[in-house]
Structure 1
Amino acid sequence: MKKMKKIVSVVMILSVVIACGVLNTPQVVMASQKSDALSAYKVFLKENKWDEGEAGTLSGKYFGLKDLNGDKIPELIINQGENKKGKRAYAIFTYNAKEKYVDELYCSWLLDECYYNSEKKYIIDKATSDVSEELRVFKITKKGNYKDVMSATMQNYDGKYTSAMVNGKKASYKKTKSKIDSYLEKAKLIKTPYKINSKNIKKYVK
């Protein structure tokens, strides 16, 4: 009887150990991918240049790290402009764990602002000029892919917005403005607080 109890106890202990191992495996994999991503970002930032095809090679001035899709692995955000309103120009990079490289996900050609709505996990790229307001709303999937939500242009004539285009089609300005405002209501500016240099790369990319 005592021998049977010992066997049962050993089986129960092994079951708990195996169960804990299974439960912790995703966390271990995630931690490993995060570590790999940060290591890759360090190398990328030290080189600080990326190819934009016909536009040539670009580089940045400031950077930040933020998880933009909820997978616990931060994206790398590079600011090509200045940390001032109307002077920013964002490029967003993600880590491709399968191929093990830093992949450009999005590059804003305009000097504008990018906001992040953590509730919907939407990124809102907003550019305002004297004649129009242009917005692109998108998200990053858990697999690290770009997914378009909406693109909108609102025309400003004589100091008054009168029309809108959403995904290439004419739309009501009021409805478009209302939808965009709902996205921006809980959104915060995506910050790039660190100047790109070896000291900050070592200090903050970890």
Structure 2
Amino acid sequence: MKNYFIVVEGLDGSGKTTAINTITKILNNNGIKDIILTREPGGTPIAEKLRKLIKYNIKGDEITNKTELLMLYAARVQLIEKVIKPALEKGKWVIGDRHDLSSQAYQSGGRNINQKLITYLSNMVIGKFKPTLTLYLDLPPKIGLKRILSRRKIDRIEKEQLSFFVRTRARYLEIASTDSSIITIDANQNLKQVQHEIYKILNQWLKIYK
């Protein structure tokens, strides 16, 4: 049986954790048990330290946009080389909570960093390595932020203005419309509808790639 790297993307509050649990259950039902779950930024001791810096900052030393970008790629390459690639080489499936598409959306769209710089950095750091399938959970930013605020404190990035997330969402949609490996799911539906759509998409996909 072949093994693959599946990623779930979307704004915070879009339901990525639930989607990952649903995907795991679908794979299990198809006899795929050897699965590794990852998250970005994070997933290794070094990447988790970088995650904490990115999300919560250091008092008196505000992170610049380019510094944030570089830390994200440092964490990403550490995760790829130390966890994801070794897992795939051992025949495991990998399900990721975010990957490179997040930087294309948040840093290019939200932060307005030049896309050419991000593309260059991505090519230099991770090259042609990419997920086999990405499920993008699309949700209006106001709804995502409302969901987050109802259950926990927000981090440094989540404190950004609504316009930041509007730009991020627009960039997600723009990229998804041009990449056949990215499937967009309406995350503004109720939970059962979103899960049903994931079941339908993934089971059809498995018939081709399993």
Answer yes or no: same fold by TM over 0.5. Answer: no
TM-score category, normalised to shorter length: under 0.3
Which structure has the larger Rg? 1
> Which of structures 1 and 2 has the larger relative contact order (alpha carbons within 8 angstroms, sep 6+)?
2
| Structure (1 or 2) with the greater helix fraction | 2
| Structure (1 or 2) with the greater strand fraction | 1
TM-score w.r.t. the length of structure 2 is 0.25
TM-score w.r.t. the length of structure 1 is 0.26
